[in-house]
Structures are given as structure tokens and as C-alpha cells.
Structure 1
């Protein structure tokens, strides 16, 4: 069993980590800020996203796409700052959430689907694809709290965490971005899979917030490795570092507003793992 160590702290609720061009990017959702860290945790830069950032990914031209959770919008960040890429208010019911952007610049964007902070009943929802021109369409439905999402290096398969199912679900990706052949990649009883990432052996690392751990899961459901988090929940993870073997973990304690903003117990932990990130996977 591997135990993570803390490299940065003082955040409200870190989520949605991405490793990009030698740096760790992540969304401090409750503080409405995207932070950029060096590999050792040193803060490099940050910027504000109204409505709270979540999923991120990059277009082929290098511009960043970032979700605004409460505004149900997808923003594009270029040299002139943020601009609107797609408005999802006509589709998303509650809190636009995680996202993966494929190598062609198509964004697959999820949403919570119900107001969990108000105690609403769990309601299945949809996954939306936003094309490069900013148009959107539903490509999957009846997902139970769709969350962390990855695309395999060949661009042929999308894997998404259905946090409250609880399972990882896979789809085939058609040339036009449509999804088909829905199937269970891994059932995960006893876990609530949140943010995920993919390694070079095709295993998924899944954050498991209510077990204070991150688990490595093979297709079929076998858990083959566990990283333990000290005294807090793990909500998302990303492989990165110079050799792709640093597992960066977004950690929060507590996890519900307004306490997160008051206590700022959020942090970034890291653990060394044996198998590196999948090259060419998205994100």
C-alpha cells in the first residue's frame, strides 16, 4: 500500500487535475480559480473562472477549454483571456462538471444532474459533446452522476466514472464523435469513483473520496493497487511528472461549502507509482 505526501496546500476544494507541458493544472472549484503548479508543487500562475471551474482540456491550437460549473458554460482561454465557447444552459440541469477534450478538439462534458447539496434524489443525466465550432449535442444519457472521463490513446474508447452507480463505463467513439456500444468497464462496489486517469497498461486510477484512497482498477473490476490519503478525501487524480509516474491527487477536508472556503483544507498530494501515464491519452 502506497501513502501519498503533500506538496501544496491552502486550497478550498481542488478538482479536475491535468498534466500539461510539464505543469499541473487544477480547478479550485469553490474558490473560482484555476491554479498552475510546477512538478514540485511550486505555484506558477492562477486565473479566475466565474461560476467555479471544473473540467479542462486543450484544443489543437493550444487554447484551453474550461468548464464553469454554476454558469453551465464552456469557456475558451487564449492570449486575450476567457471567451465563451459554448453555453449549455439549455441542456444541463445542475452543475456542469467534468470534461475530456479529444485530439480533434471535441469536448465531452458531464453534469451532476441533481442538487446533491440540497439533498435531492439521485437523477440520471446526460453526456454532451461540444464540437470544435461550439455546437453541442447529447451523445449518451441515463448516466448516474457522470464524473471523471478519459479517452484512450487510439481515440477509440471513452471511459467515464458513474460515481453513484458505482462503476466505470466505456463507449466506442465513432469518427463523428458519437458514442455507442455502452458497456461496464469495471463495477466498483464500496467506492464512489470520482476523478480518473489512465495508465500505460490500460488500468484506471480512480479517486475514492469516502475511503480516503485512490485505487488502480483493471478492466473487469480487479483493484490491483491502492494509494492511501491521510485524513481527507481524494476527489481526483492525474499521472504526470518527468517520467509519468507521479500520481497527483486532489484532496479536500472538508468537502462541502462554505466550510471549504473557511478552513482551506484542500491540498495536492503525490505518490510514486510503477506504471506511467498512457502516452497520448486524453486528458
Structure 2
């Protein structure tokens, strides 16, 4: 007898063009809608109705909270890395993609457990080979290009000791695994896996060290063992999942999706989906600004 399909619910409707960057912060889900520059939340008092936290006039790729400063964020936005406050102006730490030979923007980003912020970039079209890079922002606010020659740098995710970094290049359907030294410098880079269907997008690591991957144009989320073996595939009712967030209390996976580039019946494209799972992950790591 075939196993029962996993029940998938629309947790929050929205029809977002490109919802991304799902993170668990202070007891609620936060996520971005990249092209509109919006940061949104699903607060405990309204868990199924997204609420806007802030809006930028440039694409907003992803954010991470700033430790000890409620309402403050570090962001991959526009052509660089910025600090955002509840009411003050944007403070740019660096705009390294201002000098790119093709129009380029920042994409997905996340903090590692050591409190450093990592974010990738890509051409606006997503089709220019080698236009993307990976950047690391240290607690002193300095921004460093760690890798270049990527096309669509996506979904950085870390093991809990900050020793391993998973990085997707969506355009090549490849997930790389980088070994890092204590200062966050790569000492080894290897191919972890390559998707046969769809492109790897947002990712997260669960408490067992397994990697969860949203498969853009694959209508699925995959879970991989640290040795690279595919453990499970969750089939979704819409083709473009963009990021994944495991709730810290366990038992639930939240998935952002996109309607960008889709026409006709694309199911609940642009909504936030919820799936019961037997897994958990810690809340999003914070930026430990000096």
C-alpha cells in the first residue's frame, strides 16, 4: 500500500511575487518579498495574516536580527549590506555590487552561529554566469567577498558549530559544502549534491544535521543526510518554493513560495505553506554587532 501523502496547508495566503528568506525570530515567522523590498511577519497574535514590518525602495533579499537590539536587522538589500532600524534611515555597511559590470542585486542571506552575516548575489536576470558572489559581514561591520564566480548564490545554511556552510548555485542546480576555519574562511569546497529536478533555493539545517532544500521549479522540498543521501521528498501543490523554516518546537515546516514568472493554474503560488514534519531547528542566529 502506498504511503499516505503528507498534508499540506496554506498557512498564510498572499500571492507574493517572490516571498523568500523565511526565518524564525522571537517567536514568529519573518520573511521578505524581494522585489517590493518588504519585510513581513506572521506574529503570534495573527499567525495567518502577514503584517508589514518595514519597506525599502530597493529589492530586499533577506534579513537577520541584530543581537540585543529588538527591531534592528542586518539585511542583504539592493547592491549591498545594510543595517535597518525601526524608524531611522538605512545605514549601508558596503555596496560591493555597485561596481558589477552587469545589473546585480543581493539575494538570500543568513547569520552563522558565530554571529557573522553571509549573503549571496546574482544578476537581476539570474542568467549571467559568474555574476554572483558570496559575502561575509563580520561583527565589526566589515564586508568581505568570500567566493566569486557563482551565478545565483542562494540559501546559505550552517551546521550548529559554524564549521560547515551549505551554499546553492541555483543556476547550476548544485549545492556546495564549504569547510570553514574559526574566522569564517573556507578551507575546503566540495560538491554536496546536484538536483535532478528543479533548482536549489532556500535551505536550513535541522537538529539532526540534515539539510532541507526548497526546489524551485521542482514543486518539492528535499531532506538530505549529511553524507548527501536523499532521505525524503515533500511534494508541493505549487512549483516554486523559495525557502524553508523549521519551527524550534518541532513538528512543522513553513515554506515560502513565489508566483514570479508563473501563469495559469500554479496552485497557491506566493503563499506560505505549512507541512507537519518530524523535525526542528533553532531560531535564526543573530548578528553580533560590536
* TM-score normalised over the length of structure 1: 0.85
Aligned residues: CA RMSD: 2.5
Equivalent of 1:266 in 249, 262, 270: 270
Matches of 1:157 and 1:178 in 2, distance apart? 11
Partner of 2:94: 87
Matches of 1:273 and 1:150 in 2, distance apart? 19
Deviation at residue 265 of structure 1 after TM alignment: 4.8
Matches within 5 A, 1:239-258: 239-240=246-247, 243-253=249-259, 255-256=260-261
Partner of 1:47: 54
1:20 matched to 2:13? The reply is no
Check the 8 A contact 1:59/1:103 in 2, yes or no.
no
Change over 3 Å in CA distance of 1:128–1:58 after alignment to 2: same
1:178 matched to 2:185? The reply is yes
Deviation at residue 270 of structure 1 after TM alignment: 0.7
How many residue pairs are counted as aligned between the two chains? 270
Equivalent of 2:75 in 55, 62, 66: 66
Change over 3 Å in CA distance of 1:200–1:8 after alignment to 2: same
SS of the residue 2:201 aligns to: coil
* TM-score normalised over the length of structure 2: 0.83
Matches of 1:84 and 1:271 in 2, distance apart? 37
Check the 8 A contact 2:11/2:274 in 1, yes or no.
yes
SS of the residue 1:30 aligns to: helix
CA offset digits 1:141-170 (Å, max 9, x no partner) = 333421001121112111111212222211
- Gapped regions of structure 1 (runs ≥ 5): none
Partner of 1:122: 129
Partner of 2:41: 36
Matches of 1:176 and 1:187 in 2, distance apart? 28
SS of the residue 2:217 aligns to: helix
Deviation at residue 280 of structure 1 after TM alignment: 6.8
Check the 8 A contact 2:109/2:117 in 1, yes or no.
yes
Change over 3 Å in CA distance of 1:105–1:220 after alignment to 2: closer
1:4 matched to 2:11? The reply is no
Deviation at residue 180 of structure 1 after TM alignment: 1.9
SS of the residue 1:231 aligns to: coil
Partner of 1:111: 121
SS of the residue 2:62 aligns to: strand
Deviation at residue 85 of structure 1 after TM alignment: 3.8
CA offset digits 1:206-226 (Å, max 9, x no partner) = 111212111112234322212
Matches within 5 A, 1:107-256: 107-112=117-122, 114-116=123-125, 120-123=127-130, 125-240=132-247, 243-253=249-259, 255-256=260-261
Runs of 4+ in 1 over 6 A off after TM superposition: none
SS of the residue 2:157 aligns to: strand
